[in-house]
Amino acid sequence: MSAFDTLLPRPVRVEPSPGECLLADPAAAPVRLDPALQAEGYRLEIEPAGVLIVAADEAGACHARQTLRQLCGPAAFRAARIHDGPWRLPCGTVTDQPRLGWRGCLLDVARHFRTKAEVLRFVDLLAAHKLNVLHLHLTDDQGWRIQIDRYPRLTEVGGWRTGSMVGRHDGPETDGRPHGGFYPAADLAEIVGYAGDRGIRVVPEIDMPGHVRAALAAYPELGVHPDRSLEVWTSWGVSEDVLNAEESTVDFFRNVLDEVLEIFPSPVIGIGGDEVPVTQWENDPRSRARAAELGLASPGDLHGWFLGRMADHLRERGRRALGWDEVLDAGTDPGTGTVVGSWRGEEAGLRAAAAGHDVVMCPEQWVYLDHRQSAHPDEPIPVGFLRSLEDVYRYRPCPDGMPAERLLGAQAQVWTEHLDTARRVDYAAFPRLAAFAEVVWSGGGDFTEFLPRLREHHLPRLDALGVEYRPLSGPLPWQTRPGVPGRPRDLTMADHQHSTG
């Protein structure tokens, strides 16, 4: 077996040749750009005399360097060199390119703030797996994490909360431990630059018109009930509190987006749109009158109307909105250019594509990595569907009937209601994110071939990187959370039948 057989994600083609290359510094391998290659594609030529990277673009060169690093062995994943002498590589040519152009991972920094250093480390881990989109979920009911110069209270007030629910208990009590944090623009610009240097685009998300309790705590006038004083939410779930539909509120969020656009060059900007209860609008005379004035059939249509205003604003500035699949039910017009994130299943993605939207597949039945990894009684805070490493590896992002030209790609999600530290994020994300990375890069394969490659070759790389992944045998004692309740859900038969192809 050669080092080429250890690669993860598996490359498209390997042609071994005789001999060995002794390489002093893999990072110094020369790069020649060849725009004839597919975007992000590369060829890695290893000969006794040295290494050459031929890459379609800078991203392709980044991926080639990651392949080279894997060929050097796990020690190449350490922060410093711990041996003398050159790296020893087998000779041959690796020709490689990704199946999907959007290979993403969402990191929820709203529920639990992750420091800048932790986000940068997460970027490194995405790069090591040839993932190319970091979707940063920056705002939610439980926290507002991006400093906005024009509206300082968003982070002064909205960036902090007085406590958090412990697991998924049903009562009102919290742990009483205040916490929070936020990123100044300079920190986010640094994250964007760092990610860009590694072939990763950062897609920010400002969630609206629901999931806005943190914003309402800071600026109550944005809400349907401005007279109600709300605190940054200390519970999990779907809050009934939504934005009002006044022109001043539209202006507020357009101004927020303008500051977001200054920091994030991404052509796609997340505007949320998920889990928006319409009860407050329906019960509020001012909202009912506003809906009528706008010619909407019902107050619930304010959901789609508000998102449409935001999507138009982005389009006028040369960007596109990304919304969760509720935007379809809210009547979002494909003409707005809105990309749909299909999270409630695969059906929404198919519907979105049929309606003319571009789609990113992120179905919670398959790729929500906060969901429990096993039915083991020691699994910490077991929430959501049971999704093992094998389940994630079996995921196929292009369901029957999906027009390939509408499928931008797929994205795994790391929501952090129950992941309060970077160590907990490591546990939830890995090694399942490695399985996901192979699915989106090379299309996946046979799990019985993947598993030993992961166990014997890739986990040692994660060990060298210091990733506290979930061991294949189950959680280590300090990774458990005895007595902290979760809320498991069961998959339906229909869920089981999807994505097994």
| Cβ neighbours for 80, distance < 8 A, ≥ 6 positions apart | none
Which candidate in 63, 129, 135, 211 is catalytic? 211
Q: By CB under 6 A, what part of segment 123-142 binds ligand ACM?
A: none
Minimum gap (Å) between residue 365 Cβ and ligand ACM: 12
Nearer to ligand ACM, 190 or 274 (CB): 274
Q: How far apart, in whole angstroms, are the C-alpha atoms of residue 272 and residue 464?
A: 36
Q: Which of residues 307-326 bind ligand ACM (CB under 6 A)?
A: 324
Length reported for the chain: 501
Q: Measured between alpha carbons, how far is 468 from 466 in angstroms, rounded to an integer?
A: 6
Contacts 24+ apart (CB under 8 A), 59-63: 59/132, 59/199, 60/97, 60/199, 61/31, 61/33, 62/127, 62/197, 62/198, 62/199, 63/96, 63/98, 63/130, 63/199
Q: Which of 190, 246, 274, 378 binds ligand ACM (CB under 6 A)?
A: 274
* β pairing state of 42-47 and 87-96: antiparallel
C-alpha angle 450-466-189 in degrees, rounded to nearest 5:
100
Burial class of 472 by CB neighbour count within 10 A (0 to 12, 13 to 18, 19+):
exposed
Given 108, 140, 207, 364, which residue is catalytic? 140
Mask for 27-46, x = binds ligand ACM (CB under 6 A): --------------------
Separation of alpha carbons 133 and 349, rounded Å: 19
The residue among 41 and 341 lying less far from ligand ACM, judged by its C-beta, is 341
Q: Of residues 449-478, which lie at the interface with ligand ACM (CB under 6 A)? A: none
Closest approach, Cβ 137 to ligand ACM, in A, equals 9
Measured CA to CA, the distance from residue 422 to residue 177 in angstroms comes to 17
- Annotate each residue in 198-217 with x if it binds ligand ACM (CB under 6 A) or - if it does not, as one string: --------------------
Give me the half-sphere count of Cα atoms (radius 13 Å) on the Cβ side of residue 8.
28
Closest CA to 392 of 12, 105, 125: 105
Residue 149 tokens, joined: 């110069």
Q: How far is the CB of 135 from ligand ACM (least distance, A)?
A: 10
Shortest approach of ligand ACM to residue 362 CB, angstroms? Answer: 8
Can you tell me which of 124, 175, 275, 495 binds ligand ACM, judged by CB under 6 A? 275
Nearer to ligand ACM, 259 or 274 (CB): 274
Q: Which member of 275, 333, 347, 495 is catalytic?
A: 275
| β-sheet bridge partners, residue 42 | 55, 96
CB of 273 to ligand ACM, least distance (A): 9
* Closer to ligand ACM by Cβ: residue 91 or 276: 276
CB 203 within 8 A of CB 266: yes
> Catalytic: 211?
yes
Q: Which residue is nearest to ligand ACM (CB)?
A: 274
Cβ distance to ligand ACM smaller for residue 324 or 450: 324
Pick 42 or 415: Cβ nearer ligand ACM: 415
51 SS3 class: strand
Q: What is the DSSP string of 146-159?
A: B--TT-THHHHTTT
- For residues 47 and 104, what is the distance between their CA atoms, to the nearest angstrom? 33
Query: Alpha-carbon distance 197 to 79, whole Å?
Result: 18
What b/e readout covers 268-278, taking b as 16+ CB neighbours within 10 angstroms? Answer: bbbbbbbbbeb
- Paired strand residues for 103: 410
Size of the site for ligand ACM (CB under 6 A): 4
- Which residues in 339-378 contact ligand ACM (CB under 6 A)? 343
Q: Which is nearer to ligand ACM, 235 or 480 (CB)?
A: 235
| Residue 269 C-beta: closest distance to ligand ACM, Å | 16
Choose between 122 and 415: whose C-beta lies nearer to ligand ACM: 415
Which residue in 7, 117, 145, 17 sits closest to 68, CA to CA? 7
> Does the footprint of ligand ACM cover residue 236 (CB under 6 A)?
no
CB of 377 to ligand ACM, least distance (A): 26
Bridge partners of 384, per DSSP, are: 488
Q: Is 449 a catalytic residue?
A: no
Residues that bind ligand ACM (CB under 6 A): 274-275, 324, 343
Known catalytic residues are 140, 211, 275
